Every structure is written in structure tokens, then in C-alpha cells.
Amino acid sequence: MLARTATIFKWTLYCAAGLLCMFVQWLVLNRLHIWGLIPFLYPLIVAIPSTMEGPLFGSAYGLVFGVLSDLLLPAPIPCFYTLIFPFVGFCAGFISRNLIPVGLLCSLFATMVSFFLTDLFHTIVFWAQNQAAWRAAAWVGVREFCITLPLILLITPLFGWVYRTVHQDD
């Protein structure tokens, strides 16, 4: 059990790492077109720390980053990311606690789930707006996941470093 100051320090570090990733996305990845799409880090920023912190804290972290993402990204409905990212955080935390132990494999699986949920939500919103495009959305989702996949190798160690820094006495 961490002390209150250590907990604040931990979440400050997680947010700083997340903001660093967002900065990289904004500065570099938004200008990079691979396979016709830009690599999209946001689901990773939520999923990977959530695998380390579990479903409850993952959901809270997802909520905060969802709000931030809604302020910065275009979305088909208001609060799109605020709605989906807490669920992504919960699922990522659930996976690490019950299915796969924390690590690169867990990050990979959690990222896959996070992309699936985010893209599925996009597609459902389009469908609800009478603009069903299941096949096109699935194709975009697959390509988006594939081009973002290599970045797990950078993001996982970054958040892992934050986790180890705070929990080194455990």
C-alpha cells in the first residue's frame, strides 16, 4: 500500500508519461502516413498503464485521458473518448489481473482489445447515425492497429519504468 504522497507522485508520473506520448503523437505521428493512416497512440496511452494498475484505477485513468482526448481530437459524438476510454482501462486492467500477467504480451493483448473497443464504438456510432460502414471501419481498425503495434515496444517500457520507480520498495 503506497502512502498518499507516493500515490500522487505515481499518478503524476503516469500523466506526464501520457502527455509525453500525446506530444509525440502531435509532433511526429500526426505527420506520418503509413498504409494511408496515421499511427494512433491514444488507446495505448490508456491500455498499458491500466494493465499495471488494475481495472479500478485503469478506469479512472481512462476517464481522465478520455476527457483530455475529447478536448483535442475530433469525434463523431460529444464525449466519445470520455465514454469509451474508461471501459478500455477497465478491460485492460481486467486482462492483466485475470488472464495474462503484466508484460509485453499483456500490453499487446490489451492494446488489441483497446483498439477493438474504440473502433467498434466508432462503427456503432456511425451505424446509429445511419452511416453504417462495417467493412470500411474494420479495415481502418486493422490497419490502425497494425501500424501502431510496433510502438508498444516503446510505450510499455516507458510506463513500466514509472511503475517500477514507484513500486521499487514493494
* Residues lying near other proteins in the complex (CB under 8 A): 26, 30, 36-38, 40, 72-76, 122, 126, 129, 131, 133, 135-137, 140, 144
Q: Give min distance, CB of 35 to other proteins, in A.
A: 10
CB closer to other proteins, 2 vs 73: 73
Q: Give min distance, CB of 135 to other proteins, in A.
A: 7
Taking Cα atoms as reference points, which of 59, 69, 46 lies closest to residue 159? 46
CB closer to other proteins, 127 vs 161: 127
Query: In terms of C-beta density within 10 A (0-12 exposed, 13-18 middle, 19 or more buried), how is residue 159 classed?
Result: buried
Per-residue burial over 83-110, b if 16 or more Cβ lie within 10 Å, else e, is: bbbbbbbbbbbbbbeeeeebeeebbbbb
CB closer to other proteins, 37 vs 100: 37
DSSP 116: H
Q: Give min distance, CB of 37 to other proteins, in A.
A: 5
